[in-house]
Each structure stands twice: as structure tokens, then as C-alpha cells.
Amino acid sequence: MPTAEKRGPDWHNDDGEELFVHQDSDHLVASEAGSAPLHTFDRASSAAKRVLFGRNLSSAEEGEQRLSKRLALPIFSSDAISSSAYASEEILLALVGAGAAVLMYGPLVALAIGLLLGLIAISYRQVCYGFPNGGGAYAVASSTLGTVPALIAASSLIVDYVLTAAVSVAAGVAAITSALPELVPLRLEIALVALLLIVIANLRGIRESGKIFALPAYLFVGGALLVIGVGLVRIVTGDPAITWSADLHPELTEASQVLLPLLLLRAFAHGSVALTGTEAISNGVASFKKPEAKNAATTLIFMAVLLGTLFVGISLLAFAYGRAPIEGGETLLSQVARASLGDGPLYAFFQIATTGILLLAANTGFNGGPQLARILAADGFLPRQVGQRSGRLAFGSGIGLIAIFAGVLLVATGALVTDLVPAYAIGVFIGFTISQAGMVMHWRRQRDSGWRGRALLNGVGAVVTFVVLVVITAAKFADGGYLVFIAIPILTVFMLIVRERYRLHTRELSIEQGRVFEGLHRNRRIFAPFGEINRSTVRAVNVGRLLAGSNGELIALRVVFDEAEEAAIRDRFETHFPDVRLVTILSPYRAILEPVIHYLDEVEEELDEDGRKLMSVVMVPEYSGRHWWDRILHNGNGKRLREALIGRANTVVLDIPYRRHIPD
């Protein structure tokens, strides 16, 4: 072992790697080796990450690695584009109950949503320019609208992450069961297994990576464009597969005619789920190559055109092929794809690509959640650990929480996309509205040339998305939409409370600017209460001797239940520590904590020669086993003593955790 040869620090590890750039004895800079995880498991997973994603980057290097538009598109757009796999079906599901005749309005509703998509994309294009460091709804709102709207936006995003995971998994499973109908009865089971796999991948540290994301995303887009292209050619050539001409002007029933406006609003509300994920690119502007804003804006528009084409195209073809949605059965997209591509390998391949992009979309929920949580933690709205690079526990519990809620939603709805969509759309449009409203404020504040035009555009965006939000809410409140209006206030209030606590603690801990703290001049008494006489007690006594120094006194303290115990303990203690004073308290009422506290209370009344109270240092020895199950077996009295003493005047509490050193 090289270690044995070491003579004094050489600032290198056993492999000869430099741990620190040792500028001088008081200024060190940690190298990558000096920042490497300490434990084997962490080290192994860190090595695996390095292979997959390249080596760690120091803060200084980080700016150098940016995304091209070609890679950014699949990374940021799988969530948005994948919604074309189920949005058309949602429109028709809202219409189908009123008779087949109403289905002809499906493509029109899709077109209206396509126009809305255009408006939202143009609005978000402006977010890219206005917030080049990343303009999530939370970031925009917190810099323009204030804390509460920002937290509402953040809460709606958290709700959306859960629903993205649930909806995308459900839709992905529907793509599988469309190709293999015999799996329909196992839908929920497959969905939960898929969710579990995504969770495991995330806990193991998978990250958004262009190469992994690009393939299924481009395969899906290519496949869908092929499906649409074949269909369009058939429409133009008057292929017999196109059945729409026959049904072009069917009679609407009277009831349908009266209810038509309402039906169309409902269909619009359902279909607006196509717009979820549109904001993702504007969140990630900072990851683009320079010029960031321009590249992001271009990618965003490209994404919107693509999504619009797929969504409107699929809706049109469904109508042209005369297909209607089958609740819980084959998906509409699968029917359309089968009609265009036939039943062969091309179709199977397309279903695989569809499943792939949907599972990647589900993954964005697990990626975005912790990222947002880190930003919220940095702003003091979530526990600080969440924001620490190494807060693996917090990260894991975040992933776990998203998974649990998504799993509950899947179980509650039987993994049916259409039951999950209402809440999803509502959550997304809350974010849209707040974000656009914030942008209006942003431009008003900037007042640079052309600000009025930009403010107007975002203003229109805010109003339109708000109107859509009201429509969706009205249409879907009772169908699960209300859950969003319960979850968001709870999350918002929770985050406000966290910040309030942090502020309180900061006030409590703050010290006067510039005050010089000298050493403790007061005389002191060091108390070492103990239970058994063991290694942990030896350590406490030794530390106590150091603390007592030359002008303090060390007093070991033991509660005994009878005279015999007193004699035995005193005898043993005085053998081991002949120079230490031992005070015993006989406790015939079998109380342990109370007599110790009363004793300290009394002893503290004693004053030193200057008439001041003496300071007490109470050391609480603690057996700190290797595992939590070892620890809960001990330290009951120590913990209670510590709790009773923390916050007392003139008392310093010291925990002395002990575990025996086992040499490697």
C-alpha cells in the first residue's frame, strides 16, 4: 500500500492523483479527484455516469458544453410532440357521444387548437429572448409578479410533472396494447412496471442526454409524417380507403345541434392537452449554443410547426379514414397508422417508436421535478438539502414522491389516458397564463424599443390562455379537474411556510455585523453524565478533561437507583478515572432525567468571584452504531437530556458520538 510510505501530507491520493491545488496552507483548490465520492457505491455510479455522459465539469468549464438545435429539439420536445399521440383521440372522445355526425367537427377543433399552439409558441418565443437564463413559469413570475403567483406557477409545474409522468406512461401502454390487444387486461400492471423502470433509471442517475433522446423522437416524427403523407396522397388520388366524402354532410340530430357549441368547447378543452410541454424549450434557453435566445426561438417555432402538423394531420386523417376512438381499446393513432401503413412491420415499428417517445416524455417529469425543486430550494422555498448537489436522499425522495403520486393516479384511473387528461390540461394552462402575464410585466419594465408590441403579444397570449383555462376548468372541474385546485394551494402554502421558517431561523441565528468574538473568559464547569462505563464514557471524560483545562472543573454525573448500585459504580469509576470527581444522585422515584436537570439548575446558581454565573458544558455521550437499527437500541436518555438542555442559558451541550474504529 502506498499509504504506508507516506510521511506527512502530500496532497495526493493513493493512486498518485493530485487532490488539491495547494496554493498555500490556508487556501486550497479541490481537484476532480479531491471531489470524488468517498464510498464505493457512489464511486461506481459516478464512474458509470462518466462513461455515459462524459466526465464531470467544473463550474468554469460548464459554459462550454451547449446543445445544437438538432439535439435540443428531441431533448426539450419529446413531451410536447408526444402529445400528438393522444390529443386527436381526446377531441373525438369528447364528440363521439353525440353521434357519428359530430365527428366531422374534429379536424376543425384540431385546427383551432393548432392556431392556439401558434399563438402560444410565438408568445414563448418572446420568453426565450426575455429570459435567456431559462424562463420557466416560476422564473418569469418570481421576477415580475411576486412571490405568490410565482409559487402558484411552481406548484402548477409540480402538478404537471406528476401528470406528465402518469399521462405519458398510460399513453405509452395504450400504444403497446393497440398493437397487442391481448395485453389490454394487463394495462395497469404494464403501466406500473413501466413507471417503476423509469424511477429506477432515474434513481440510478440517468440524465437527459441528446443521443438517447434523439432516436425515438426522430423515429416517431418520421413515422407520423409518413402516416400523414400516405393519407394525404390517398385523399388526393381518391383512394377507396378514404370514406369521408360519403359522410361529409350527414344530418345532425336536433339535440346535437342545440348542444353543438358546448360540445365543441368540451372537445377543445380535451384537445388542448396537445399543447402541454410547449414551454419546455423556453425553460432551457441557457443550454443552447450561442446565440442562445435566437437558437432556442428557432427551435421552438420548428417544434410548434412539427407538433401542429402531426396533431392536425392525424385529426384530419382519422376523419378521412372514418375512424372513431374506442374507449380503452385501440388508440386512434394506431388505427390511423394501421390504415396508412398496413398491418406489417412498418406499423409495428411505428408503435414501438410511439411507445418510446411517450416513455421519454414520462421521464421529463422526473427530470424537471428535481431541477425545479433545486431552484425552489435555492430561493428558500424548499428544504435546503434539496438543492445540494449531494443531497441524494432529497433527490431520491423527490423522485419517489412523483412516482407515488403518478402511480396512485394510474391506479385510480386504471391507466386510462382520457381520465387523466382534464387535470393535466388545467395545470398546464395555469402555468401558461401566469407565465404570459409575467411577460407583459417584464416588457413594461424593460421599456426598450418595440416593447409595446411584445407586451401586446404576450398580453393576448395571457388572455387567450386564461380564457382557455376557464373553459377547460368549466368543462372538466368535476372530472378530476378539482384535484388541481386542491393540490396547488397546498403546495403553495407549504412553500410559503418553509420560507417563513428559514427567515425566522436566520433572524434567530444572526450576529451583529463587525462584532469581534473573543474567547470565553467565564469560568466553567464541565459535566459528563453517563450510564455505563464504556469506551464512549472514556471518550467523553477525555474531552471533558481538555475542556476543563486548568481553570475549569470536570464533574462526572450518574443517577443510581439504590445504594448498592452507587457503591459499585463509584468503585469502578474511581478505578478507571482516579482524578475525576464523580457526583451520584440517588433517585428512589426512578426518575433519570429530572434529577439531573434539577441538579444542574441548582449548581448553576453558584456565582464566580465576579458575581457572574458559571458556564456549564454538558457532554452527552452517544453510541453511534453503523446502522440506524443499531442506533435506535441506544441513547434514549441521552437524547432526552440533550433535548432538555438545548436552548438553556449558560449551557453548552456537546454530543460526543462514538463508534469504534475498525482498521481497513
Q: Rule CB under 8 A: which of 518-537 touch a second copy?
A: 518-520, 524, 532-536
Q: Provide CB contacts within 8 A for 625, sequence distance 6+.
A: 631, 633, 634, 659
Does residue 35 interact with a second copy by CB under 8 A?
Answer: yes
Does residue 587 interact with a second copy by CB under 8 A?
Answer: yes
Does residue 49 interact with a second copy by CB under 8 A?
Answer: no
Q: Please identify, using beta-carbon distances, which residue of 445 and 572 lies nearer to a second copy.
A: 572
The string over 586-622, giving b where at least 16 C-beta atoms fall within 10 Å of a residue's C-beta and e elsewhere, is ebeeeebbeebeebbeeebeeeeeeeeebbbbbbbbb
- Contacting residue, 4, 15, 16, 26, with a second copy by CB under 8 A: 26
Interface segment toward a second copy; rule CB under 8 A; list 156-164, 220-228, 303-311, 575-583: 575-583
Does residue 626 interact with a second copy by CB under 8 A?
Answer: yes
Does residue 129 interact with a second copy by CB under 8 A?
Answer: no
Does residue 44 interact with a second copy by CB under 8 A?
Answer: no
Q: Please identify, using beta-carbon distances, which residue of 28 and 183 lies nearer to a second copy.
A: 28
Q: Are 114 and 272 in contact (CB under 8 A)?
A: no
DSSP labels for 74-93?
HHHHHHHHHGGGTHHHHHHH
Q: Are strands 524-529 and 552-560 parallel, antiparallel or unpaired?
A: parallel
Least distance between a second copy and beta carbon 490 (Å): 15
Does residue 7 interact with a second copy by CB under 8 A?
Answer: yes
Residues between 382 and 411 with contacts to a second copy, criterion CB under 8 A: 383-385, 388-391, 394
Report the phi/psi class of residue 424: left, alpha or beta, with left for phi > 0 and alpha for psi in -120 to 50: alpha
Does residue 594 interact with a second copy by CB under 8 A?
Answer: yes
Distance, first Cα to last Cα, the chain: 12
Q: Provide CB contacts within 8 A for 207, sequence distance 6+.
A: 49, 53, 367
| Contacts with a second copy, 175-194, as mask; x by CB under 8 A | --------------------
Does residue 588 interact with a second copy by CB under 8 A?
Answer: yes
- Contacting residue, 207, 445, 598, 612, with a second copy by CB under 8 A: 598
Q: Are 619 and 544 in contact (CB under 8 A)?
A: yes
Q: Please identify, using beta-carbon distances, which residue of 7 and 249 lies nearer to a second copy.
A: 7
| Contacts with a second copy, 445-464, as mask; x by CB under 8 A | --------------------
Does residue 584 interact with a second copy by CB under 8 A?
Answer: yes
| Contacts with a second copy, 327-366, as mask; x by CB under 8 A | ----------------------------------------
The span from the CA of 596 to the CA of 584, in Å, is: 10
- Contacting residue, 467, 490, 607, 612, with a second copy by CB under 8 A: 607
Amino acid at 8: G
Q: Are 198 and 212 in contact (CB under 8 A)?
A: no
- Contacting residue, 249, 290, 447, 590, with a second copy by CB under 8 A: 590
Q: Please identify, using beta-carbon distances, which residue of 33 and 326 lies nearer to a second copy.
A: 33
Distances (CA, A) of 182 to 330, 334, 368: 11, 15, 34
Least distance between a second copy and beta carbon 591 (Å): 4
Least distance between a second copy and beta carbon 583 (Å): 5
Q: Please identify, using beta-carbon distances, which residue of 225 and 496 lies nearer to a second copy.
A: 496
Per rule CB under 8 A, count of chain residues that contact a second copy: 130
Q: Are 590 and 580 in contact (CB under 8 A)?
A: no
Helices (H), ranges, 98-209? 106-130, 137-144, 147-179, 187-203
